Amino acid sequence: MDYSFKLESKMPKKRGLITDTYKMVRKEKKTKQEEDEEKAKEEVARNLEIERKQLESNLEVLKQFDLFWEYGPCIGITRLQRWERADILGLKPPVHVRDLILKHKDDPLYLQRRAGRLYLPR
Amino acid sequence: MFSDQAAQKGSTLLTPPSAKGPSFDRVRTCSYSNRSERFRLGERSYARQYAHIYATRLIQMRPMLEQRAKQKWGQDVMIKKLCELQMGEVCCVVGTLFKHMELQPSILREISEEHNLLPQPPRAKYIDQSDELILEDELQRIKLEEGIDIQKFMGGGAIIAVFGAEKEDGKFIVDDYCFADLPPQAPMTGPETDRWYVLLASGLGLGSGNAESLLGMQLLVDMVTGQLGDEGEQSSAAQISRVVLAGNLLSRQMQSKDSLNKAKYLTKKTQAASVEAIKMLDEILVQLSASVPVDVLPGEFDPTNYTFPQQPLHHCMFPMAAVYPTMQLVTNPFQAEIDGVRYVLQSCLEIVYLFLTPTALDTLSEEEYAVIYTTPTAPDTLGCYPFYLKDPFVLEECPHVYFCGNAPVFKMKEVKGADGQKVLLVAIPEFSTTQTACLVNLRTLECQPISFSAFCDAEEEENEMNVSH
């Protein structure tokens, strides 16, 4: 485009339409397949978001369980062992914490308190 | 008692030989159960810290101490945690007692050797006038002053309830203190007749080359197996239903590590001294276990792990004796029920460490809390496995007899608890120096020392052998 200003050529010589400068772009109609794909992607993103929030809140519950000093030190033993110890000593630890740990038995984040910063994958 | 029975029978030594000699059947224990499963270690992971033991010990003992505090100082005594303490307020605090000893070796000072500071000399006793007592609960600690005699306490580690108030400078002035009471005791269902004995010996000290103790040892074995004395002695020996060897079966010299400092070419063909000593022990055990059930506890100088609870010696070290089912290799500390009488036996590494700390030598007679925990100073001065689930050294049931081996002298004391518990505390002397063992009557729980000695006087020509009760 020619940006040099010439007084004569301020107005186009021909009677032009605005669509000469701003070309009209026809909105392409998406095919059904592409629409579905997009919707699926959005849903996946939403689910991931929900899961992440769930993970955060679960870990928060477990963190509160760890920091509850009544049950003794939390480093060096797994959460399940600590829960069982509290149970044996008669301190009545909450059952939902145990269920939570058992539901995610294979996840190392749930299993033990890590000393240091917790890295949550985003 | 033992010798009285022996004396009742007439002397038969100098009679002409008969076609068939008399035979005495050994009394058989009707029930024996080994209750030391909690001292056996399965998987051993040392990745844990020792904070877990102290935490579980405090949690386990706290209810008992609160109850005792209420009994002693009134039902409405305020029991507070250290974080809730107000200055000047008289209340009771429950926590772990910790004794801060300047002379105790510290790993940090060892590391400081790198910085060319003087290394600490190894000491026999860690106590000093400048020691301090500190009370720790779950979250905080506070120094204790007045009211509590620092020198009376061996190491720390026991759970204590103190009654007093906090001063302005942050120290706690103690008016009174108490330990937990003895745990509940099951009634004793001992045998009815007076004829059952258990023989206890400790500190055999094999391998040291001490001829006197070897002679004494052989006399002991011969007496127990009925090869000594006339019919009176033999019938009395038949009433010994069990023999327990409580630790330090090998002598201190077995621990020497001279071969580590020598050059390899000099030490290539030499055998460790403990190999001979173990062979000797195997021979003794064969003689004993062929005739009487034997329990063998490891001790400080024996080839087993150093940390408490010590695991049993391995049976492959005793090829001859391990064949007999009467020989049992057990842990240290050892808990068992023999004929309805509950025993806790310990080969005293603990008392050795307690001697490093107190001024009074007869520590057994002092604190009752020794009965509640077998090893309060673990893991502070005594090595210990990092337990996390429960502290196995807190005894939940009061035993009837509590033995401690390798003491310098034989001592006996009966302790009575508040609920009518009666415990007999016995210190078994070290056999290699004193040639004395103990006989316990299972019915009356009386304990009698039995010593074996040979008088070797250079001036006299004949040697006199004396087996005295």
- Predicted confidence at residue B250, as pLDDT, reads 82
Query: Of the ranges B223-232, B322-331, B361-370, which one carries the lowest mean pLDDT score?
Result: B361-370
- Predicted confidence at residue A122, as pLDDT, reads 46
Q: Which of A70, A73, A88 sits opposite B51 (nearest CB)?
A: A73
pLDDT digits (tens, 9 = 90+) for A85-112: 888 888 888 888 888 888 877 777 777 7
From-to residues of CATH 3.60.21.50 in chain B: 2-8+27-42+184-256+269-450
- Determine contact, residues B218/B201, Cβ cutoff 8 Å: no
The arithmetic mean of pLDDT across residues A60-64, rounded, is 86
Q: Which of A73, A84, A88 sits opposite B55 (nearest CB)?
A: A73
Whose structure tokens read 């007084």?
Answer: A7
The arithmetic mean of pLDDT across residues A47-54, rounded, is 91
Interchain contact, B48 vs A77, CB within 8 Å: yes
The arithmetic mean of pLDDT across residues B263-276, rounded, is 74
DSSP summary character for residue A9:
G
CB atoms within 10 A of CB B45: 11
Whether the pLDDT of residue B379 is over 60: the answer is: yes
pLDDT digits (tens, 9 = 90+) for B92-120: 888 888 887 776 767 776 676 666 666 56
User: Given CB atoms, is B316 within the 8 Å cutoff of chain A?
Assistant: no
User: Given CB atoms, is A67 within the 8 Å cutoff of chain B?
Assistant: no
What is the distance between the alpha carbons of residues B84 and B344, in angstroms, rounded to a whole number? Answer: 39
Residues 6+ apart with CB under 8 A from A41: none
Q: How confident is the model at residue B261 (pLDDT cuts 50, 70, 90)?
A: low
What is the distance between the alpha carbons of residues B34 and B338, in angstroms, rounded to a whole number? Answer: 8
Residue to test with chain A: of B50, B58, B388, most A Cβ within 10 A:
B388
CB atoms within 10 A of CB B384: 20
CB atoms within 10 A of CB B427: 25
- Predicted confidence at residue A46, as pLDDT, reads 93
Whether the pLDDT of residue A11 is over 60: the answer is: no
For B316-346, letters b (16+ CB in 10 Å) and e give ebbeebbebebbbbbbbbbbbbbbebbbbbb
Which CATH code of 2.60.120.260, 2.40.50.430, 3.40.710.10, 1.10.1040.10 fits the domain covering B50-106+126-178? 2.40.50.430
- H/E element, B94: strand B91-100
Sign of CA dihedral A53, A56, A59, A63: negative
User: Given CB atoms, is B49 within the 8 Å cutoff of chain A?
Assistant: yes
Nearest residue of B to residue A83, measured between CA atoms: B389
Q: Which residue has the higher pLDDT, A67 or B183?
A: A67
- Determine contact, residues B215/B358, Cβ cutoff 8 Å: no
What is the distance between the alpha carbons of residues B334 and B336, in angstroms, rounded to a whole number? Answer: 7
Q: Contacts of residue B390 in chain A, CB cutoff 8 Å?
A: 85, 88-89
User: Given CB atoms, is B365 within the 8 Å cutoff of chain A?
Assistant: no
Side-chain-side CA neighbours of residue B249 (13 Å): 27
Per DSSP, helices labelled H in B44-197 are: 51-73, 107-111
Which tokens sit at B183? 């745990």
The arithmetic mean of pLDDT across residues B251-265, rounded, is 69
The arithmetic mean of pLDDT across residues B72-88, rounded, is 84
- Predicted confidence at residue B348, as pLDDT, reads 55
For A11-42, letters b (16+ CB in 10 Å) and e give eeeeeeeeeeeeeeeeeeeeeeeeeeeeeeee
- Determine contact, residues B39/B333, Cβ cutoff 8 Å: yes
Task: List the domain boundaries for chain A.
Answer: 38-122
- Determine contact, residues B380/B332, Cβ cutoff 8 Å: no
Whether the pLDDT of residue A56 is over 50: the answer is: yes
The arithmetic mean of pLDDT across residues B231-246, rounded, is 83
Nearest residue of A to residue B59, measured between CA atoms: A89
- Predicted confidence at residue A47, as pLDDT, reads 92
Averaged pLDDT of chain B = 75
Residues 6+ apart with CB under 8 A from A97: A61, A62, A65, A79, A83
Count how many residues are written for chain A: 122
What is the distance between the alpha carbons of residues B161 and B65, in angstroms, rounded to a whole number? Answer: 6
Whether the pLDDT of residue B23 is over 50: the answer is: yes
> What is the percent of chain A where pLDDT is above 90?
10
Nearest residue of A to residue B58, measured between CA atoms: A72
pLDDT digits (tens, 9 = 90+) for B314-332: 889 899 888 898 888 888 7
Whose structure tokens read 């033999």?
Answer: B234
Query: Of the ranges A89-103, B209-223, B231-245, B397-411, which one carries the lowest mean pLDDT score?
Result: B397-411
Whether the pLDDT of residue B73 is over 60: the answer is: yes
Interchain contact, A89 vs B60, CB within 8 Å: yes
Q: How far is B231 from chain A (nearest CA, A)?
A: 56
Q: Given phi > 0 = left and psi -120 to 50 = alpha, else beta, which region is A57?
A: alpha
- Determine contact, residues B316/B322, Cβ cutoff 8 Å: yes
Residues 6+ apart with CB under 8 A from A13: none
Per DSSP, helices labelled H in B325-395 are: 349-356, 369-372
What is the distance between the alpha carbons of residues B56 and B392, in angstroms, rounded to a whole number? Answer: 10
Q: How confident is the model at residue A42 (pLDDT cuts 50, 70, 90)?
A: very high
3-state SS assignment for residue B398: coil
pLDDT digits (tens, 9 = 90+) for B381-434: 666 777 777 777 777 777 788 787 777 778 777 777 777 777 777 778 888 888
Whether the pLDDT of residue B171 is over 70: the answer is: yes
CA distances, B466 to each of B91, B220, B227, B410 (Å): 60, 12, 15, 19
Q: Contacts of residue B49 in chain A, CB cutoff 8 Å?
A: 73, 75-76
Q: Which among B37, B34, B466, B434 has a CA at the least distance from the CA of B202? A: B434
Task: Give CA torsion, residues A29, A33, A39, A45, to 10 deg.
Answer: -120
- Predicted confidence at residue B466, as pLDDT, reads 44
pLDDT digits (tens, 9 = 90+) for B325-365: 888 888 877 888 877 677 777 665 444 444 333 333 334 43
User: Regarding beta strands B91-100 and B132-136, do their DSSP bridges make them parallel or antiparallel, or are they unpaired?
Assistant: antiparallel
Q: How confident is the model at residue B369 (pLDDT cuts 50, 70, 90)?
A: very low
- Predicted confidence at residue A49, as pLDDT, reads 93
Interchain contact, A69 vs B56, CB within 8 Å: no
What is the distance between the alpha carbons of residues B363 and B359, in angstroms, rounded to a whole number? Answer: 9
- CATH-assigned architecture of domain B2-8+27-42+184-256+269-450: 4-Layer Sandwich (3.60)
